[in-house]
Structure 1
Amino acid sequence: MIETPLEFPSQGTTCRAVLYTPDADSRNLPCIVMAHGFGLTHASGLAPFKEAFCKAGYAVFAFDYRHFGDSEGEPRQVLSPGKEVADWLAALAFARQLDRVDGSRICLWGTSFSGGLVIVAAAKDGNVQCTISQCPMMDGLASLLGVIGYAGIMQALRLTWHGTVDWMRRGLGMSPRYIASAGRPGELGMMTAEDCQEGYVPLMADNAVNYVAAGVSYMIPLFRPTRFASKVTCPALVQICDRDTVAPADAAAKAAGKMPNAEVMHYPVGHFDVYRGEALAQSIRDQLEFLGQSGRL
């Protein structure tokens, strides 16, 4: 792959990205616009997807959200679903203008939290050719109820308390109150099911860290991509992990059912299994087959 570092503005903040192409002379390529999920950077475990897409003849435009990774934005590690949707729309607009990209052939690719973000972005943009959502978080309220299911109501109350402290600190101009993005059962963190710590941490690149501003605990239940699903009329691949502890499979299936042109695939694995081994290989095969079908890209 040829890697070209780029940057683009999103609501006044500079976001950074890398354009991956099969070779230096490629022009007018169909393009996959890609970013990672909750608190992670595009360098965190997504290389197999980038490589597979480039090998198949696609360009990949992979970016980091503001406040994360190589992108600018202070304070660091502050996750706002609304701002991240805006970053998706800014990345999409920028990618469409690139010489090596055919702006009329764009796929939005998201995984985990970004699997829901791409649904909202596609609905708001209205002109992408297709979307891919891998193990997507389609309903933040359902995810919160899932946390209560495996960790108990006290964990939800702990998250709310630390979220309140974070908002108060930032409102007073102080540094955020941080909590772990992923932890072990019983620890304080946004994701603490049995497979979260061991699944999340190995994905982290050098420019990623395992913590996030605690105020996001207020935002997650309000972020419900399923409400936008019916507006995504382009072909959409929704890949559901049936043993998902992070992004409830039922919520993803319900969201996909609202999409007029959704193709749903189920995998008998957990949320983080899809980033390794045979589950990863199968997910990539299914994505390439989806993209290669007539009328997609």
Structure 2
Amino acid sequence: MANGLAGLKGQFCPSFAQRFQAAGYETGRDYSDAFDYVASLDDVDSSRIVCWGTSMCGGSVLHAAAFDKRIRAVISQVPFVSGELLSTHLAPIIGSLYSSRQQLKAGKPVPLIKLFAETPEESLQQCTKALIRDENLCDSIKALDKDKLP
């Protein structure tokens, strides 16, 4: 299980994992090795491996299942399946993202980029500096705040 762009493992994943586990599902932690590892376990039916992902990883599990036919089902929640919309917002700042990586490696402070618009109205404004401008995400952001998640 994994969150999407800028998502942390503590944001919603634990509650989903508990529900999946209660329903008899098991989860893997690292997509790069999880398929082979989980399939090799004696107590796992390798013909019933299911992958779950949300946001960016919602697209990743679709991609993984397209190539690994052992994956029998995919649960893909609000998947990113195209980077086209995001790329238009990234284009003006892509150079600074790479220079920030160099600063970070050198132990210097780096500028932060606002990830989400705070209100539906802000998300519709062209002048917002938020990377993701989706008015439908505002309720999810409020839920993070309510649960005191980062």
Q: Tell me if both proteins adopt one fold, taking TM over 0.5 as the criterion.
A: yes
Confirm whether residue 173 of structure 1 aligns to residue 139 of structure 2: no
What residue in structure 1 maps to residue 7 of structure 2?
A: 40
User: What is the identity, as a one-letter code, of the residue corresponding to 1:194?
Assistant: E
1:23-62 aligned at under 5 Å gives the runs 34-56=1-23, 58-61=24-27
Is residue 86–residue 132 contact of structure 2 (8 Å, CA) maintained in 1?
no
Compute the displacement of 1:40 (Å). Answer: 1.5
CA distance in structure 2 between the partners assigned to 1:177 and 1:121 by the alignment: 33
2 CA distance for matches of 1:138 and 1:191?
15
Q: Quick one: structure 1 residues 198 and 165, their matched pair in 2 at CA, closer, same or farther if it must change by over 3 Å?
A: farther
2: distance between equivalents of 1:118 and 1:54? 19
Give the distance between the partners of 2:128 and 2:74, measured in 1 at CA: 35
| 1:199 lines up with 2:132 in the alignment | no
Give the superposition deviation at 1:113. 0.9
Structure 2: gaps of 5 or more residues: none
Structure 2 CA distance for aligned equivalents of residues 162 and 45 of structure 1:
30
Q: 1:156 to 1:195 in 2, by over 3 A?
A: farther
Q: Equivalent of 1:112, from 46, 49, 55?
A: 55
Q: 1:52 to 1:198 in 2, by over 3 A?
A: closer
Q: 1:121–1:89: structure 2 CA closer, same or farther, 3 Å change rule?
A: farther
Change (3 A) 1:168 1:197: farther
Higher strand share: 1
Cα drift, residue 108 of structure 1: 1.0
The residue number in structure 2 matching 1:160 is: 94
Query: Counterpart of 2:117?
Result: 183
1:178–1:97 CA distance, 2 compared to 1 (3 A): farther
1:193, 1:51 → 2: CA distance? 28
Q: Give the secondary structure class of the aligned counterpart of 2:53.
A: strand
Distance 2:114 2:12 in 1: 19
Q: Do the aligned partners of 1:111 and 1:136 also contact (CA within 8 Å) in 2?
A: yes
What percentage of residue pairs aligned between the two structures are identical? 25
Task: Provide the secondary structure at the position in 1 that maps to 2:27.
Answer: strand
Report deviation, 1:110: 1.1
Q: CA deviation at 1:88?
A: 1.0
CA distance in 2, matches of 1:177, 1:51: 36
More helix per residue: 1 or 2? Answer: 2
Q: What is the aligned residue count?
A: 141
Kindly indicate whether the alpha-carbon contact (under 8 Å) linking 1:182 and 1:189 is maintained by their aligned counterparts in 2. yes
Shift of 1:195: 4.1
Given residue 54 of structure 1, which amino acid in structure 2 is its aligned partner? Answer: Q
Q: CA deviation at 1:189?
A: 3.2
Is the CA contact (8 Å cut-off) linking 1:37 and 1:111 kept in structure 2?
Answer: yes
SS at match of 1:200: helix
CA distance in 2, matches of 1:134, 1:202: 16
C-alpha contact 1:166 1:178 (8 A) present in aligned 2: no
| Match of residue 91 from structure 1 | 34
1:35 counterpart SS class: coil
Q: Is the 8 A contact 2:86 2:131 kept in 1?
A: no
